[in-house]
Amino acid sequence: HPALFHAVETKQPVVALFVITPKQHQIHGEAPQKMEFIKAHVKDTCDRLKELNIPSIIKVIPTFAEMPELFQELIDTLSIEQVFFHHSYWVNEINRDQAVIEVLENNGIKVHQYHSNYLLPPGTVRKDDGKMYHVFTPYKNKFIEQLKQLYTAPLPIPEACDVVSVIDVKSYDMNVKFELNQWPVGEKAVNNILKSFLQGIDYKKERNFPSIDGTSRLSPYLALGVIGARQCLAHALKQQGEDAFYSTWVSELIWRDFYNDLMYEYPKLAMHQTFKSDAKDEWLKQDDLFELWKQGQTGFPLIDAGMRQLLNEGWMHNRVRMVVASFLSKLCLIDWRLGEAHFMAYLLDGDLASNNGGWQWSSATGCDAAPYFRIFNPIAQSKKFDPDGTYIRKYVPELNQLSAKVIHEPESETRKQCGYPEPMIDYKAARQQALDWFKS
């Protein structure tokens, strides 16, 4: 956390400020449980800051629009000389930060900003003509070159402050209602998850199988900033040496940077617009199918398992995300933005850039997207990546007595006996309809 480190380095009293903006989260359609997850980590962070003799102020305002006024009130109440914080890169956040900086500078307060949330700041990796890459592989190759040149190890945890700030500012009383027990709270727990993942999992081999604990499951913590991408890379380098730069997992971290860089370069992506100006964008209105998809009642076991995992855990395995997104946008021809919004409404790792990038990739509307004719067969994907049906049985318990041979595509009579619905679409017909629609 560079901002914290450098603030403590001044040898002056330090106060930590966290501002909660619940209405802003609602405007962005984010999951209520994500807000509670944030609050739980703020509480944990405040407890850890106490160990460094750093008091915390927690404030609640509706939206970013009230941020300048809040800072002016704090300036009028406290003796503030400097403010340290991290860059944000999306439209609303950039505007928020500029408004706050204006208030601070008008009051003669020094502002220090640091890069923290991604491996490299957006804008670092560009083609020779200065333009943004639109294909991931050359972006990644250039990115690794730049990363190896610019990489510095993360800063250590700072020493405790010698001088303790005495503050008299009423702070929000944190009332946390986070109920998803499968997600441990706290930076120490997350560091342990990271270390265990790097020591015990063959990510390249196991990451596509949702029944295997073959992914890091760090995405919610990365989305919140509980752990940073540079911390992840530092641990990978310690474990694997320079080979880590070329590993499959670090490649996924670079995808995260790629989508953030795209949204920084093309703000329209944050405004529900397609990346491709000529992309098909007249989707079918099929509310009944959309509702069945949301509830995990499509009649396709892998699709339903994924959608129910999302509802129950605030997360979904990445392979399954691709399949359910392809199913909605290409087989049902339902607007990808509806799926994007549904994901944001439940995901703990709901990240605007990554979620948008994933949905535009799946729907053939985005940058370096899957071509329109690449349509995942949900039955074939189920048999390939959940061959024993273990993942399906966990999230679609009405099918838990079926054999691996039957579970991926039960017969009608078996479905009736299990209380499981018929497929809501005919795959072959839907696939042909999609091919004709995209080509028209």
Return the SS3 of 399. helix
Computed over every residue of the chain, the mean pLDDT equals 95
Give me the mean pLDDT over the 3-16 stretch: 95
- Dihedral class, residue 420 (left if φ above 0, else alpha if ψ from -120 to 50, else beta): beta
Lowest-confidence segment of 105-119, 133-147, 164-178 by average pLDDT: 164-178
Q: Is 359 a catalytic residue?
A: yes
**Residue tagged active-site, from 92, 191, 312, 318:** 318
**Residue tagged active-site, from 293, 315, 336, 361:** 336
Q: According to the model, what pLDDT value does residue 140 have? A: 98
Find, among 217, 223, 199, the residue nearest to 351 by Cα.
223
Q: How far is CA 94 from CA 18, 42, 101, 291, 303, in A?
A: 17, 22, 10, 35, 37
Q: Is 249 a catalytic residue?
A: no
Question: Partners of 334 in the beta sheet?
Answer: 284
Rounded to an integer, what distance in angstroms lies between the CA atom of residue 65 and that of residue 212? 44
Q: Is 361 a catalytic residue?
A: no
For residue 164, what pLDDT band results from cuts at 50, 70 and 90?
confident
Asked if residue 310 lies in contact with residue 343, where contact means CB atoms within 8 angstroms, the answer is: yes
Question: What confidence tens digit (pLDDT) does each residue in 359-383 have?
Answer: 999 999 999 888 889 999 999 999 9
**Residue tagged active-site, from 90, 249, 255, 315:** 255
For residue 160, what are the contacts with CB-CB under 8 A and spacing of at least 6? 51, 52, 53
Work out whether strand 82-86 and strand 16-20 pair parallel, antiparallel, or are unpaired: unpaired
Return the SS3 of 59. strand
Question: What confidence tens digit (pLDDT) does each residue in 216-246 have?
Answer: 999 999 999 999 999 999 999 999 999 999 9
For residue 275, what are the contacts with CB-CB under 8 A and spacing of at least 6? 262, 266, 269, 360, 365, 366, 367, 369
Q: Is 255 a catalytic residue?
A: yes
Return the SS3 of 111. strand
**Residue tagged active-site, from 36, 187, 252, 398:** 252
Give me the mean pLDDT over the 166-176 stretch: 85
- Measured in degrees and rounded to the nearest 5, phi and psi for residue 18 equal -125, 130
Rounded to an integer, what distance in angstroms lies between the CA atom of residue 2 and that of residue 156? 9
DSSP per-residue codes, 159-206:
PPPSS-----------------TTS--SHHHHHHHHHHHHHH--HHHH
Find, among 132, 56, 76, 67, the residue nearest to 94 by Cα.
67
Asked if residue 80 lies in contact with residue 100, where contact means CB atoms within 8 angstroms, the answer is: no
> CA 404, 406, 409, 412 torsion: positive or negative?
negative
Rounded to an integer, what distance in angstroms lies between the CA atom of residue 248 and that of residue 205? 10
Residue 313 token pair: 């855990």
Q: Is 105 a catalytic residue?
A: no
- pLDDT tops 90 at residue 172: no
Give me the mean pLDDT over the 196-203 stretch: 91
**Residue tagged active-site, from 191, 283, 312, 437:** 283
Q: Is 90 a catalytic residue?
A: no
The verdict on pTM exceeding 0.85 is yes
